[in-house]
Amino acid sequence: MAKNTVNQIEAIGANLERMAGKDAAQQVMQGSEAIAGSTKPEKVAAWVQTAMERLDRLVDAETRVKFFTSFTPRASSPTRCAATAACCAHCPVMRPPR
């Protein structure tokens, strides 16, 4: 995996802490410290999937929508979504709310 992936995961943690608080962010980000530049994409995708499952359990729907949409690429911003196939199914931008 590229260093960019590590940066994206760090950005996820920082954004989540800002929106949902330190305790929720720590729980969701559990295991992220094992992701390195050399981590295989399949392992990153598996971590993202379990992190999104923890996010679903810990954070209310309104905060999840704000969190996911904060990573949505915008024409005026170089920000890119840190999405993998595993997390797109959880993203309210990619699917309607449950």
97 part of a folded domain: no
DSSP code per residue over 37-66: TT--HHHHHHHHHHHHHHHHHHS-HHHHHH
Q: Give me 34's structure tokens.
A: 């094992």
12-64 residue pLDDT tens: 898 899 999 999 999 999 999 999 888 888 898 889 899 989 999 999 988 88
68 part of a folded domain: yes
Which residue range forms the structural domain that includes residue 37?
A: 3-88
53-98 residue pLDDT tens: 999 999 998 888 888 877 654 433 444 455 444 455 555 444 444 4
36 part of a folded domain: yes
25 part of a folded domain: yes
Domain count, the chain: 1
82 part of a folded domain: yes
35 part of a folded domain: yes
In this prediction the pTM is: 0.68
56 part of a folded domain: yes
Tell me, letter by letter, the H, E, C secondary structure of 80-96. Answer: CCCCCHHHHCCCCCCCC
